[in-house]
A and B are shown apart, each in its own frame.
Chain A
Amino acid sequence: MACLTPFFFIFFLSLSLFLSPAFSTNSEGNALHALRSRLSDPTNVLQSWDPTLVNPCTWFHVTCDSNNHVIRLDLGNSNVSGTLGPELGQLKYLQYLELYRNDIGGQIPEELGNLENLVSMDMYDNKFEGRIPKSFAKLKSLRFLRLNNNKLTGSIPRELTTLTGLKVFDVSSNDLCGTIPVDGPFSSFPMESFDNNRLNGPELKGLVPYDFGC
């Protein structure tokens, strides 16, 4: 028996390693299904999201890569409402999060900062409230971040200036306050991206705190 113990250990270890990709795609399916349950979907856009299937790759508006990991979520202009939850952060391989032109409200979950492969986050034209999560600074692959036309408040987190790949940043028509960052990619964003807020012009370093007027 004693000599069998290491054998079993190795067996289970290899089994768990073998099964882990399966579990991970399943967790992505669970995350998406959790999203579905949070959203109200009057036009049945999410009807094909059947949680009993092995992975979500056959669902409409979900795109996977060749390892069956979810890389795109295309729900733009889909007439859905509700809120987002922390489980979205489990979509580790997600590159495109397209939720624009819907009626989604509530806070943007902090956990979205875990989507380290995210290239594009389009959540414009919704009803999001609260602050822009500081955790977005972890989205090192992010190139497009459009949060315009929501009800976001607070200041623009200074941590976002570290996102060197960011090409488009649009927070216009929100209720943001403070000043506009000037470092890193922010040096090249047009002023239109910041219109219609309570922002106090470009940051004057050392003279005025960045959350001046908040």
Chain B
Amino acid sequence: MRETFRAMLVLVAILFFGAAEFCSGRNTSFSCIEREREALLKFKLCFHDPSHMLSSWKGHDCCEWRGVDCDKNSRYVTSLQLRGSISYQLDWYKQPQLCLMDDVEEVVSSLLKLSYLEHLDLSNNNFSGNLIPPSFGLMKQLRYLNLSNVQFRGRIPNELGNLTRLRVLDLSQYHYEGLKVNDDIQWISHLSSLQRLDMSGVNQSRASSNLFQVLGMLSSLSWLSLSDCSLKSSHLPSHNHLLNFTWLGNIQHFDISENSFHGPIPTFLQNMTSLTFLDMSGVNLSLTSSNLFQVLGMLPSLSWLSLSSCSLKNCHLPSPNHPFNFTLLGNIQHLDLSNNFFQGPIPIFLQNMTSLIFLYLSSNQLNGSIPNSMGQMSKLESIDLFDNQLSGTIPNSIGQLSKLKSIDLFENQLSGSIPGSIGQLSRLKSIDLSENQLSGSIPDSIGQLFKLESIYLFSNQLSGSIPDSIGQLSKLESIYLFSNQLSGSIPDSIGQLSKLKSIYLFENQLSGSIPGSIGQLSKLKNIDLSENQLSRSIPDSIGQLSKLENIDLSENQLSGSIPDSIGQLSKLENIDLSENQLSESIPDSIGLLSKLESIYLSSNQLNGSILDSINQLSKLENIDLSSNQLSGSIPDSIGQFSKLKSLYLSHNQLSGNIPNSIGQLSKLKSIYLSHNQLNGSIPNSIWQLSKLESIDLSSNQFGTRFPKWHQLQETIRLVDLSNASISGPLPENIGHMMPMLWGLYLANNFMNGSIPKSLCNVQTLTALDLSNNMLSGNIPKSLCNSKDLIFLQLSNNMLSGNIPNCWRNDQSFQFIDLSSNNLSDLADNNLTGRIPPCFEKFPIMVNATQLSHDIGNEYWDQDPPVDVLLFRYIEHWDLAPLMEVVKGRYLEYIRITLRLEISIDLSSNNLIGSIPEELIFLKNLHNLNLSWNHLSGNIPEKIGQMENLESLDFSKNSLSGMIPNSMSSLTKLSYLNLSYNNLSGPIPTGYQLQTLEDPTMYAGNPQLCGVPLLKKCSNDTLPPTIANFKGNNEGALKRMWFYIVVMLGFATGFWGVVGTLFFVKNWRYAYFQWMDDVQHWILVVITSKVAQFKKMFNGDQDDQ
């Protein structure tokens, strides 16, 4: 008994202490296997962990660490879930993920110490292009292994085949190429427990053709993804193979999308009777016969089907004529047929697919209208029909799709108005109807879409005002209503949209003021209200938009000052308030916008000076304050903008020097300081700007000599120093220092000396304007070496000598003005041999208003922007009130429009000799002016071949001889001046010349005669007109025949009567007898009638 008691006591004690020890062990020393804890810490050390994923990995109990799971009893680590997260954004390096720092073998060796690890998920981390270590194969206990998107590269080691307990293996690589299998893939067949295999993105092009045979040995497999594996048709199993297909019957999820199969639909699909998910997108199925849907219809459980980008055509769709049981498709919930070649109306069979929840038909060529019956597809949650050619109106029945969350109909040709029934779609989160031709107003009912997060209606013809009810959409994050015709004011209610991040209303006709309530949009990042008619001042409340990054209010009629509160927008990166009527000075607070990159305030009425406070904005890249009334000098501190790329301060009233510090702006590409009152010298430091592309200092009062070059300026394209009181000669080396120059403008200065020969080396030169200077000497012979030279303006100088050979016929237009110089010889030009090619180019029409916007921006990267160069050229004409003689009148080049054409003006020189015959080869010439020279000899005989000539001026020369007849065939000529020469003979007539009948164009040629002059030509000088030629000959012949016939007729008629009477005596007597009788009868009748009349007349008088 005692024995037993003792034994019991011991037992109880053992139990008690045991339990106590067990409990205490659980709480303290038993918490986590120390060996494993150390292994995990070693694992942690292998990685750089910028997002602090492993920050909880400290302390004793490793089972409590984030991502670590232990067995409840043994406390061994069984599961590691270390999934990084990836959202595919630009700033990849900011992604929360682990980056391998150490040797990958270290990682595996520490993992191998976790001998009970069954579940390992390292997906979405960065193993930076390492090979998968074969030692992974030693973790035999693993049931789950996920290495997807870990950026492994190279061959998958065969040792993975040792992981025989694996149920799930995920090696998928999206957006990262580099992992591949080699031709021996037998190892896969050892994974006999595998249920789920994902090898998407793994290059299997080298896998042997028995891939499916190998996979067939995985008897438990039900989930298989081989998307984007570079598989070819030869990898697919065919019935000729001795293959066991029964395993396919177990597969539920099958993804073979994005592989380069081609040919008909694989027949083995028929065996996959358990299939619920099938993705074949990106597989070329164009060779499939029309039984595609018949095959798919045999898969009774199929609910998810994607055939996007399969090159399918209408013939692949089931037609109602086919004996096809549509109910088979009745289970499909997700159908993606986007990006195929389907044409015609939306297929009818879709209406039978009553289970559809997601329908994607985008990027096809569907036309016709959206059927009204669409409203019956009551389960639809998402519908994509964008990028088709659908027309007609959006059916009202769309309001019946009560479960709809997303509707995308953009890029179609839908017209009519947005149905008001759309307000019934109470679950709608996103609506995109942009880029259609929708008109009418936005329905008020849109305010009932309480779940709406984004609304895209841009690029339509919507009119009316933005409904006030929009303020009720409390979840709205994005509003895109730009490029419509919306009018009225922006509703005040917009301030209630507390989640709004972006609002784009530009290119509408919105008016009124910007509502002050806009300040309540505390999440707003982007606002663009440009190109409207908004007026009054910018609300003060705008300073409350603490998250704002971009604001564009340009091209409105906003007035008042820029609110001081703008300085509170601490996240602001870009601000554009240009083309408004903003006045007063730029607020000082703008210096607080420390993140600002671009500031555009051009074309306003801002005054005051450029503030020093702006200097704090160290991130500024673009400054545009042009076309304001800013005064004072450019602050010296401007050199601190180390990132500045463009500086536009032109059209202001800035004075003083250009600060020397400008040379510190090492990133500067464009500097525009034109139209100010800057004076003093141009700092030489400006040529230190090694990235400079365009410099415009024109229209200032520098009063200095042309700045000296010290440095090769390889990037420079445009130099404009016109109208800037610059004197002295051009530097001799200018062409060597600026070898890539496109345009050089130095008009209206006081430059002397000769044109430097080095300019001939600038092969890219397109525009050269040195007009209105005091340049002398010859024009360098090879000046026109540049094949692109289109504008050469050297007029009003003192240049002498020969005219270089500058005109060319391979240009669609060209403008050469050498007028008002002392040039003497035209004959030296080698015009011969320039047989013109066919002209396919036609004059470029330039919309200058648009151009002024583009000038000096990113234009300078490609070919010479001829239009910009020309606009600049014309602009100078505009400000120096010089005009171009076109069509005989001073056509002022205003900024609205301008025409470019080939024009040669050599007027007002001392040209001698005759007009070269070869001139006529310039068939594309539109204007030719050789007036006010000393040219002699004849006008070229074949001048009529210059068939595009519109304006021709040879006046004030000493030309002699006749005016060539061919001139009348210049059928486009609308201005001609040949006055004051020694021309003689008749003026040609016919065609165009008969429409130019102002006699003054021939004045001062005393020996000319004929129309339109009053002086008649004597007969021997009568010009043979075209009309006279055939008319005269034909007429004469006709007239001769006419007279012959008349004579013959007369002879026959006369002698037929008179001759008979003359020769036959009886007839003669009878004839005269009859004549006497008739005479008597007439006499009697007349007498009696007269008597009768008299009686009647008298009777009438009696009555009265």
Contacts and interface: CB of A to CB of B under 8 A. Distances in A.
A6 to B, nearest CB: 23
A61 B845 contact: no
A98 B992 CA distance: 8
Contact of A58 (B842, B845, B991, B1035): B845
Contacts of A122: 994-995
Interface in A95-127: 96, 98, 100-101, 120, 122
Given A58-B845, A192-B1035, A96 B995 contact: yes
B381 interface: no
A155 interface: no
Interface stretch (B342-350, B681-689, B895-903, B1083-1091): B895-903
Interface string A57-100: 11111010010000010101110000000000000000010101
Interface stretch (B17-25, B729-737, B965-973): B965-973
A77 B897 contact: no
Contact of A74 (B889, B901, B973): B973
A130 B889 CA distance: 39
Given A58-B845, A66-B889, A98-B992, A195 B1031 contact: yes
B1064 to A, nearest CB: 37
B843 interface: yes
Interface residues of B, number: 26
Contacts of A55: 896-897
A214 interface: no
A63 B976 CA distance: 13
Interface string B975-1009: 10000000000000001101101000000000000
Contacts of A50: 845
Contact of B1035 (A77, A100, A101, A195): A195
A42 B847 CA distance: 25
A53 B847 contact: yes
A20 interface: no
A44 interface: yes
A31 B270 CA distance: 67
A144 B995 contact: yes
B1031 A61 contact: no
Given A44-B842, A50-B845, A58 B899 contact: yes
Given A61-B972, A74-B973, A48 B1035 contact: no
A122 B993 CA distance: 12
A55 to B, nearest CB: 7
B971 A78 contact: yes
A5 interface: no
Given A48-B843, A74-B971, A76-B992, A60 B950 contact: yes
B887 interface: yes
Given A53-B847, A58-B897, A192 B1031 contact: yes
B842 A74 contact: no
B974 interface: yes
Contacts of A53: 845, 847, 896-897
Contacts of A47: 842
Contacts of B997: 120, 143-144
Contacts of B991: 76-77, 100-101
Contacts of A52: 847
Nearest to A98: B995
Contacts of A13: none
Contacts of A172: 1031
A53 B848 CA distance: 10
A111 B91 CA distance: 68
Contacts of A208: none
A63 B974 contact: yes
B246 to A, nearest CB: 70
B999 to A, nearest CB: 14
Nearest to B1039: A191
A54 interface: yes
Contacts of B898: 58
B992 A74 contact: yes
Interface string B898-922: 1101000000000000000000000
Interface in B463-484: none
B899 A74 contact: no
A66 B899 CA distance: 16
A189 to B, nearest CB: 13
A138 B1094 CA distance: 51
A47 B899 CA distance: 13
B1035 A74 contact: no
Q: Which of B842, B896, B972 has the most CB of A within 10 A?
A: B972
Nearest to A50: B845
Interface in A148-181: 168, 172
Given A120-B995, A144-B994, A72 B971 contact: no
Nearest to A125: B991
B971 A76 contact: yes
A192 B991 CA distance: 17
A115 B31 CA distance: 105
Nearest to A54: B896
A92 B105 CA distance: 91
A96 B1031 CA distance: 26
A78 B969 CA distance: 12
Interface string B608-623: 0000000000000000
A60 B947 CA distance: 13
B844 to A, nearest CB: 9
B838 to A, nearest CB: 11
A77 B971 contact: yes
A195 B842 CA distance: 41
Nearest to B844: A48
B897 A72 contact: no
B813 to A, nearest CB: 11
Contacts of A78: 971
Contacts of A101: 971, 991
Contacts of A44: 842
Nearest to B843: A48
Nearest to B839: A44
A57 B901 CA distance: 13
Contacts of A63: 887, 974-975
A59 B975 CA distance: 15
Contacts of B899: 48, 58-60
A59 B995 CA distance: 20
A74 B847 contact: no
Contacts of B889: 66
Nearest to A63: B974
A102 to B, nearest CB: 10
Interface string B1016-1044: 00000000000000010001000000000
A76 B847 CA distance: 28
Contacts of B969: 77
Contact of A48 (B842, B887, B992): B842
A164 B973 CA distance: 28
B371 to A, nearest CB: 36
Interface string B944-977: 0000001000000000000000000101111100
A47 B948 CA distance: 13
B1001 to A, nearest CB: 14
Given A58-B845, A72-B974, A101-B971, 17 more contacts: A53-B845, A54-B896, A58-B897, A58-B899, A60-B901, A60-B926, A61-B950, A61-B974, A74-B950, A76-B972, A96-B974, A101-B991, A143-B997, A144-B995, A168-B994, A172-B1031, A195-B1031
Closest 7 CB pairs of A and B: A58-B899, A76-B971, A77-B971, A47-B842, A53-B897, A63-B974, A50-B845
Interface of A: 44, 47-48, 50, 52-55, 57-61, 63, 66, 72, 74, 76-78, 96, 98, 100-101, 120, 122, 143-144, 168, 172, 192, 195
Interface of B: 842-843, 845, 847, 887, 889, 896-899, 901, 926, 950, 969, 971-975, 991-992, 994-995, 997, 1031, 1035
14 contacts: A50-B845, A53-B847, A58-B898, A60-B926, A61-B974, A74-B973, A74-B995, A76-B971, A77-B991, A98-B971, A98-B992, A100-B991, A120-B997, A144-B995
